[in-house]
Structure 1
Amino acid sequence: MGRDLYQRESSGYDRALGFFDAIYGFSLTLLIANLDAPPAEAWQSLDALLAHDVGNQLFGFLISFVVIAAFWRVNHRAIDRLSTIDSRVILMNIIAAGLVIFIPFTTQGISDSETSDLPLPLALYAVNIAAAMLAQSVIMFTARRYDEAAHPLTARQWGIQVLDAMVGPLVFLGSVPVAYAWGGDTAKFCWLLLIVLGPLSARLAQRATAALAPEPPLEAEPLAS
């Protein structure tokens, strides 16, 4: 059975892209469900408001909002590189979207003051994010494969790209043993490493990939008349 193909200007392409965009938007909206409305007396002052666990909930909301928005941006950039969408790309997007939809649920565990310092909620959240990152990387690599005729990569260049894509998942998975050793709240600080390691890894991967690019063949010198 052949794979379904949807060209960029077709309605099938637009419907597929719109479907996945809607999933990311809906996942962002679901995060608000993790914010419990505080009682009336909590609105008397900022200290009273924070005392009713609003600070933890807003912190969890902010982290997951940034993460899901970043996932949407990566997915949008990957799809934008494709001139066609086939059933394989759609399947990988469904898997990635399913993991993203699960983020509002795992966010609840790390944003509730009664459970935020427990290792299990952080472990579930970290594994959820790491798995979503890996799924998104597969989509990005697929997009690169489609574009390889114009920008071919060697095996070593592909290896560098894979290593760069593993930085994010490894940081989140690395926070799991920290949570079981020192608590979930402490383990969250591990995620701050991505502020430095993410851009640094991307820059090094870009330089290494460019350094390994094959040199264009030399043009033959014209024979003197």
Structure 2
Amino acid sequence: MSDTKTPRSPYDRDSVEFARAFTFFDAVYAFALTLLIVNIDPPEASDWSDPWTWLASGLGWQLFGFLVSFVVIAVFWRTNHRLSSGFIAMTPGTITANVVALAFIVFIPFSTQGISDPETGDQPLAVAVYAVNIAAAVCAQSAIFLVARRDRVIADPLPRRADTIRLLDTATTPLIFLLSIVVAYTLGADWARITWGLLLVVGPISGRIADRAIARIVAEDAAARNR
């Protein structure tokens, strides 16, 4: 019997390189969150006379853009953190996919400027750029999972049918943002932003349906293996 051991990947979960990659990804998300504040212009001294004047100075839209994008980036970070925490290693493919996804995350502060600036916020193009940005970021994060699945670095992979259900559930977010582009050019930017609120309804419903379907698939798969 040979005593030769299979060499370990330099990106195994307990390696320094894995930790460096994980820390780098987290740092970029934190930096993107921090960059959002530059889209808020300090009001003039005269605008501090009362809350209504303060908000009417244009700060209201800027705060809206800040809050929406802060939540969006935080959700992206949480999703990436949960996904990466289930990896047993990093591969060149998963690192590349993460870097591509980060490009769209870092772009969010720029696209937020368009929807939060009082002079551009009512322009359909501003909504379109933001919507495409978010939709692309969601697709890029889904690509991370697909690459990790291909490279077999997911600790507890689900049956492929379950993965398909989860990806379909994830697709509701980019679909709603892309729908808002049509709404922006037909009904206006304000209605397009209201369209984003559909995520508060569609997201939880889609998530519950997906969870039930995945639980059923996992149970059926376990029963088939025990026969």
TM over 0.5: yes
Q: Which of 101, 122, 128 is the matching residue for 1:117?
A: 122
Cα distance between partner residues in 1 of 2:117 and 2:157? 47
Corresponding position of 1:153: 159
TM-score, normalized by length of structure 2?
0.89
| Structure 2 unaligned blocks of 5 or more | 1-8
Kindly provide the amino acid, as one letter, of the partner of residue 90 in structure 1: I
TM-score, normalized by length of structure 1?
0.89
Bigger mean CA deviation after superposition, 205-214 or 112-121: 205-214
| Structure 1 unaligned blocks of 5 or more | 220-225
Per-residue deviation, 1:217: 4.3
- The percent identity for this pair of structures is 48
CA contact (8 A) 2:172 2:203 kept: yes
Cα distance between partner residues in 1 of 2:167 and 2:189? 29
Per-residue deviation, 1:144: 5.1
Bigger mean CA deviation after superposition, 45-54 or 120-129: 45-54
Corresponding position of 2:45: 40
**CA 1:201–1:42 in 2, change beyond 3 Å: closer, same or farther?**
same
Moved over 6 A (4+): none
1:129 aligns with 2:139: no
Q: Over aligned residues, Cα RMSD in angstroms?
A: 1.8
CA contact (8 A) 1:5 1:86 kept: no
Corresponding position of 2:200: 195
- Counterparts of 1:2-41 in structure 2, within 5 Å, are 5-41=10-46
Per-residue deviation, 1:196: 1.3
**CA 1:10–1:217 in 2, change beyond 3 Å: closer, same or farther?**
closer
Per-residue deviation, 1:216: 3.8
Per-residue deviation, 1:71: 0.4
Q: Which of 55, 70, 78 is the matching residue for 1:50?
A: 55
**CA 1:163–1:179 in 2, change beyond 3 Å: closer, same or farther?**
same
**CA 1:173–1:188 in 2, change beyond 3 Å: closer, same or farther?**
same
Q: Deviations over 1:4-48 (max 9, x none)?
A: 740112111111111111100000000000000111111111111
Cα distance between partner residues in 1 of 2:225 and 2:23? 43
1:70 aligns with 2:75: yes
Count of matched residue pairs:
215
